[in-house]
Amino acid sequence: MGQHYETMEGPGARPVKMWTQGVPVEPEAKEQLRKTAQMPFIYKHIAVMPDVHLGKGSTIGSVIPTVGAVIPAAVGVDIGCGMMAAKTTLTANDLPDNLGKLRSAIEHAIPHGMSPKTRGHKGRDQGSWMTPPNSVDAGWAQLKDEFDVICQKTPRLRNTNNYRHLGTLGSGNHFVEVCLDEEGFVWLMLHSGSRGVGNAIGSHFIEQAKQDMRIHHINLPDQDLAYLNEGTRHYDDYIEAVGWAQKFAQINREVMMQNLIGAVRNVIHKPFETHVEAVNCHHNYVQKETHFGREVLVTRKGAVSAAKGQLGIIPGSMGAKSYIVRGKGNPESFNSCSHGAGRTMSRTEAKRRFKIADHIKATEGVECRKDANVIDEIPMAYKDIDAVMEAQSDLVEVVHTLKQVVCVKG
């Protein structure tokens, strides 16, 4: 198999290897990548996925390996944001003719949008697909002790909606979907992260890193590249807190999936099971990994781990296909792949350019919101998912192709 990436190099910077053949890349995103590649602790090179686009703090769709330091803004504030999907034994024929009833049941079971005070209904035992927390309380029990320790070091985190947000979706591009695969089997899929408490952790340590830069008079290509040095208290506190936020995000998805399955059971009375093919993966996170014979910190900002044989999820936009993939373990990408299609324009630009009629046409056949408040999520605001998949054919293989029939947006 030939080389699928192109290399962008600059003076005094590590190479940037880009899996972007056939997909557009903004000049601003390239400039942002060049600045990140100038940081002295970048290991080997930066890997760029085909859904790449300009981000706040760091380029979305980038994989940043570091030695001896971490950039909190590269991880961002949506810490642990990711996907979860589970295949059921239901088929398309088992779905109700009126999918609006199913969407309403999901919206009732999983709080979504901007409200911080609500929480999902506690579900009963929902089957054998995994062993999730049986309720929000059981999920929080796995988080509370470590959170208490973190709050002793960073007291401001205590006043976040940490417990109340567990089991909730949030807003923006977070979603819950009912999908059909190529054989007509029903899949349940959702996208969310660590909610308000993750945002507070990210924001606190981003500011802490910036203060450290000012104290030590360190000049940066961009202030959002402020970093924490390994061996310092702030570094250790951040690694502990960000690890907890990633755990929160994973359990948050598990609680929502449990309640999602319960909502489907309340509408579809035919007994069904869910398969062990359930996938729960982050795409905004940092963790220690070994690459090219050395242990390094790998920050994936809008990218998914795609180690050899590892299952992952690459969603398209509303009205487009999504994919369950298996990683090929490409070392040059630090065993990574894209986390979705990637935006081609800002939310503001999408709202300016498109009308409700455009959104209705683009989401034809999908039971979802068709109002002005979701126009920023219109499919045309995203890259062509087929082109994105072709550009990373040496990173993953497609296991299942999914098409949504119900979509709940926050």
Bridge partners of 300?
A: 63, 285
Q: Which two structure tokens, joined as six digits, stand for 209? A: 């890193």
Task: Give the type of residue at 331.
Answer: P
* CB neighbour list of residue 388: distance below 8 Å, 6 or more residues apart: 23, 50, 51, 314, 338, 340, 341, 342
CA angle 167, 118, 272 (to 5 degrees): 45
216 is catalytic: no
Residue whose structure tokens are 């995000």: 249
**Which residues make Cβ contacts (< 8 Å) with residue 84, sequence separation at least 6?**
189, 190, 191, 253, 254, 256, 257, 278, 279, 280, 281, 313
Cα 374-378-379 angle, rounded to 5 deg: 150
C-alpha to C-alpha distance for 235 and 228, rounded to whole angstroms:
5
Catalytic, out of 45, 112, 174, 339: 339
The whole-angstrom separation of Cα 197 and Cα 99 is 34
- Distance CA(115)–CA(131), nearest Å, equals 28
Residues written for the chain: 410
SS3 253: helix
Tokens for 183? Answer: 């054989």
Pairing label, strands 311-314, 321-327: antiparallel
**DSSP string across 131-193:** ---SSHHHHHHTTHHHHHHHHHH-GGGGGSSHHHHTT---STT-EEEEEE-TTSEEEEEEEE-
Query: What type of residue is 98?
Result: N
Handedness of CA 46, 52, 54, 58 (dihedral sign): negative
Residues designated as active site: 339
